[in-house]
Structure formats: C-alpha cells, structure tokens
Amino acid sequence: MKRGLLFHSNAVWPPLGLVALFAFIYGMLEAGLWIIEHPWRNVGLELEATPEIRATRTLLLGAAAVLYALYRLWRFHPAWNLAYAAWLRLSPWTPDKPLPLGPVHLVWQDAVVIGALAALARWHAQADPTIPLILFGAVYLAGMTFLLLLTRTWVPCLLLGFLWSAPIIPALRGPPTLGIIAGLIVVTWYGYRKSLRAFPWRRGEANGPASIRTSRPKSPLELEIRIDGLSNSPAARTPSLGWPFLWLSPKAVHSSVATSTSLSLSALFAWWTYCLMAGLEAPPDCAPMLFVFALIAALSRLAIYCSGLRPPFNIWGRLASGRIIVPGFDQVFVTPLIVVVVGSIGGAAVRVSEPWHQASAAGVMALLWFLLLNGGPSLRRWILTGQHRYHSPARLGTNRQLLKPI
C-alpha cells in the first residue's frame, strides 16, 4: 500500500502563472500573425506557412517543455530547496512515503502537459511533435543527473557519466540509442530512490557552520577534492575561521581519495576520451594533446597541494645548507613529475599504435587520472605531515575584505 503512495501526483500541474505566461506569449504571436494576415487575406498572404514562423512556434513550445521540466525538478526536489529539506529532516517523513510537496518522478500529468505541447506542435505549429518530448526528457534527465551529483549519489552518477556520452560513438547511434535512453531512465530512477534513502544529504542545510569532515570517505566512490575558496564546501569556508585557526584545526579538512574512486573516475575519463575520439571524423594527433593535458593536470595538482603552503626554507637556504633535496617537502613534486613523464611517453605510444589509437589514448588518459587522483602523498597526509609551513594570508594575497590581520 505504501508503495502505491509513491505515485501520488497532486499538485504536479504546471503553475497558473507559467501557463498564463506561455498562453500570453503564444497568443501574442498568433494575434500578431492574425493582425498582419487579416488585411491581406484576399491576396493570399500566408505567413503561417513560412519557416521562420514555424521555427518561432517550435522555439516557444520547446521552451515551454524545458521550463516545465525545470519546474518539476525545482519545485519538488528537496535538494533544490534547503528550507524544504531542513523541514523534511525534522518531519516524520521517511523515504518510503511520498514527498509532501509532490513527486519528483514522472506522473500522468506530465504526459498530459507534454502531450498537449506535442499536439500543439503537430496540429497547429506544423512542427515535429517529438521536439517538446525530447527537450522535456533531456532536460529532466540532465537535471536529475545534476541533482544526483548534488546529493552525492555517486554510483548512479558514475553510470550516468558513461551513458550520457555513449551516443557520441557513431556505432551506438540509431536504434542502440533507445537502449541508452532506457538505461538513462532506469539508472536515474534507481539513483533517485537511492538518494531519497540517503536523506538527509550532507550539504549546507545538514551541517553546522564548522562541520568539517573527520574521517575517510564512507562510500568507496566518494570523491572529495577540495580547493579552498572555489566551492561552498566546509573547507572552502577557510577564511571564515581565520588564520591560522583552521590550518591548525584538530579536524582534518581534506579527505583522501579512495582507490576505488580513483579507478572508477579514471575509467570514466578514459571512456569520455574514447567517445570523443570515436566521435570525431578525423581524430587529431594525440601525442601533443596528452602531453599538454598531463602538464596542465600536474601543475593543477601542484597548485592544489601547495595552496597556502611553502617549503620550510627557500632555494638559497637549500644551497647554503647543502640540502638540495628536502624529502619531506619535495615528495609533493614526485607524482606531478611522473604524470608529465607518462603523458609524454603515452602520447608517443598512442602515435605508434595507429589502428588502436582510440583505445590506447583512453588507456593513457585512465593512467594519468589514476596517478593524479591516487598518487602519493594524499592531500590529507601532505597537509598534516608534510615538511612545510602554513603561510600567513598576508603573503597569500587573501581577499582583505574577508580576512584582516589584527
């Protein structure tokens, strides 16, 4: 009986304002056409038949379908609305009960709305009636994928990452695309149910102001690479605690990337590389591209690792003390160097493996990502045990609007 409740559908109809807006814009277009055509009806002017008018109508119908898809997700998914999620957390709601404000999953009202748009497209706009359906489906599925990312439902996200890029491969176009779409729907549905079961999600509404991760990732597929100042993660709120209070915090801000996460993401990026190369009619020379990618990725990793940190003493200190290599600090350069070397050698290897260059480029990409994500030391270990010094914001160019010295 509870299962049946999942498919409740009250309050799913599009809001009156949205319907009125669409009717007004569409009506204005039709009224304008009528005003222009009416005086010239006798001479046989038919603007309606022109491709420009058909395209405008299709655009309006498509926009209506996109807006409706976004409305469905925005209005009913707690991940969008922090106040709703906070209220839901305090309510007796459980994942086996329907969401109080209405369902996120598709219901018969959606078929009515999209059917109406398709009918308008078919019999009034003389446009392809599948356009509203395709746009609604694509935006709805893409939005759901984004919401799964937002709610950190990693395994379905990973699967969707593979599925979304599959149609790029020419061999998978046509009838196989239907199978891919079916896969997208099934995985999205599974992910959605999984994300509801995992509620409350660990986001801003679920955490206190200084809730900082203390342990390794719970999920083997959980990825946590935090770049201070670039996101809304707790670590990104570093300036909110000042210097050096968070640097010396008894709670580790950074988590390690699990090996299974590294493997999964490496496989995903390799798959994307393969899809991209297979989708191109004339694949480019991979060697320089892989080298440039490896170089940029290595420098990015170095920038993330060394953000806010400095060596214990500078280059002159190394020369003067005869300690050219400081193992405790220089360990941070090892993985980036290996990445650059692998990028160079891998690029050359791809060039000579001509019949298999797509697969070999994907393999090199997988190796590069695995090294980047899993190469030692982990960010957490480096921050906590590396032989470096935490630099004062005075020398880091910190935004003085946010953080000021005494």
x/- letters, 318..337, toward another protein (CB under 8 A): --xx-x----x---------
Q: Which of 16, 316, 322, 327 binds another protein (CB under 8 A)?
A: 316
**212 contacts another protein (rule: CB under 8 A):** yes
**355 contacts another protein (rule: CB under 8 A):** no
Distance of alpha carbon 10 from alpha carbon 404, whole angstroms? 52
Distance of alpha carbon 406 from alpha carbon 400, whole angstroms? 12
Cβ of 76: how many Cβ atoms within 10 Å? 19
Distance of alpha carbon 241 from alpha carbon 211, whole angstroms? 12
Output the CA angle 244-249-251, nearest 5 degrees.
Answer: 155
Residues 6+ apart with CB under 8 A from 263: 370
Stretch that binds another protein, among 113-121, 168-176, 204-212, 271-279 (CB under 8 A): 204-212
Question: How near is the Cβ of 225 to another protein at its closest, in Å?
Answer: 17
| C-beta pairs of 82-88 under 8 Å, 24+ apart in sequence | 82/203, 82/204, 82/205, 83/205, 85/199, 85/200, 85/201, 85/203, 85/205, 85/206, 86/205, 88/199, 88/200
**283 contacts another protein (rule: CB under 8 A):** no
Q: Which of 133, 168, 185, 241 binds another protein (CB under 8 A)?
A: 241
Crossing angle of helices 130-150/51-76, nearest 10°? 30
Stretch that binds another protein, among 151-159, 162-170, 191-199, 242-250 (CB under 8 A): 242-250
Q: Which of 103, 336, 347, 386 binds another protein (CB under 8 A)?
A: 386
Question: Which one, 351 or 391, has the nearer CB to another protein?
Answer: 391
Stretch that binds another protein, among 157-165, 175-183, 340-348, 386-394 (CB under 8 A): 386-394
**376 contacts another protein (rule: CB under 8 A):** no
Burial environment of residue 72 by CB neighbours within 10 A (0 to 12, 13 to 18, 19 or more): buried
Q: Which of 210, 280, 303, 337 binds another protein (CB under 8 A)?
A: 210
- State the number of CA atoms in the 13 A half-sphere of 7 facing the CB: 7
**259 contacts another protein (rule: CB under 8 A):** no
Question: How near is the Cβ of 7 to another protein at its closest, in Å?
Answer: 42
Give the interface size with another protein as a residue count (CB under 8 A).
47
Residues 102 and 11: beta-carbon distance below 8 Å: yes
**403 contacts another protein (rule: CB under 8 A):** yes
Question: Which one, 129 or 312, has the nearer CB to another protein?
Answer: 312
Of the candidates 64, 54, 52, the one whose C-alpha atom is nearest the C-alpha of residue 133 is 64
Stretch that binds another protein, among 162-170, 297-305, 358-366, 389-397 (CB under 8 A): 389-397
Question: Which one, 123 or 316, has the nearer CB to another protein?
Answer: 316
Where does this chain bind another protein (CB under 8 A)?
208-212, 239-252, 312-314, 316-317, 320-321, 323, 328, 380-381, 384-390, 392-394, 398, 401-406
